[in-house]
Amino acid sequence: MEIVRTVNEMIAITDRLKQENKTIGFVPTMGYLHEGHTTLMDESKKYADVLIASIFVNPLQFGPGEDFERYPRDEERDQEIAEQHSVDILFLPTVDEMYPQEATIKLHVQKRTDVLCGKSRPGHFDGVATVLTKLFHLTKADFTFFGLKDAQQVAVVKGLIDDFNFRTKLIAVPTVRELDGLAKSSRNVYLSEEERKEAAHLYKALCTGQQLIIDGEKNPVMIIEEVKKYLDRETNGKIEYVDLLTFPSLKPIGSIDQQVIIAVAVQFTKARLIDNLIISENGTVPKAIV
């Protein structure tokens, strides 16, 4: 595995790879790698000749009260994990390397951000779009891999790729789950023993909504209400939201006649958990999400 720390070195390497007609898969991360990340890395090997992963804690994604300095970092551990999962090139730039001067142009994501988690994090996805624009240019990726656990991010990235004609194909990888259905997350360690049992019901609540659609329910309001009732009954967490929207456009819908997302966020004592299901109008999980 090759460690790259500068923009110029990355440009030179990817120029060479393209001259050699090699296909490039790209997994962007903010480090502190876990099974969600490594699943994306493993998936990339099915598509591309070369796998590039980046680790960069992007300051533009952090809003007021979100502590950029305290975000977990462990470069040595991350390098070991990346190598174990056959990463060919690991890009580890500093903030000064990625943002050497004050920007003259600001990217603003104007759709797909005022719902779900984005509603409480203004400006977050502007930072995501900015860093990905740079990384797409630097890596020249043919395929880019994101996990569907953060489906809103997938929707925003899809819009970025489409709007700016980036020559990369977005591969949305299904959420990695525990045996009881709980979406794997670094935040799960903050759950108490009782909360950990309750947390499995987030996925079961989503499946309840899915079953209603399978059974012919087309009214989003009714489905949202039933999912909320399930969560209220089975957990003691505070429901932050339950929503049902079109996907990937993330717009309200009056009657389910196209692909949708059912998404939930629940605040437990020390952990805020999110989960979602993306399903077709008849309730099945589509093969191609975006």
Which residues are known binding-site members for (R)-pantoate? 61, 153
- Relative to beta strand 50-55, strand 89-91 is parallel
Active-site annotation holds for 201: no
Q: Tell which residue, 180, 181, 145, has the closest CA to residue 275.
A: 181
Which residues are known binding-site members for beta-alanine? 61
C-alpha 283/C-alpha 250 separation (Å) is 17
Which residues contact residue 91 at a Cβ distance below 8 angstroms, ignoring those fewer than 6 apart?
A: 4, 5, 10, 52, 53, 54, 55, 56, 135, 138, 139
C-alpha 247/C-alpha 152 separation (Å) is 9
C-alpha 159/C-alpha 163 separation (Å) is 6
Letter for the amino acid at 220?
A: P
Which residues are known binding-site members? 30-37, 61, 147-150, 153, 176, 184-187
Which residues are known binding-site members for ATP? 30-37, 147-150, 176, 184-187
Considering the candidates 37, 85, 124, 201, report the single residue annotated as catalytic. 37
User: What is the DSSP code string of 41-99?
Assistant: HHHHTTT-SEEEEEE---GGG--TT--STTS---HHHHHHHHHHTT-SEEE---HHHH-
Catalytic residues: 37
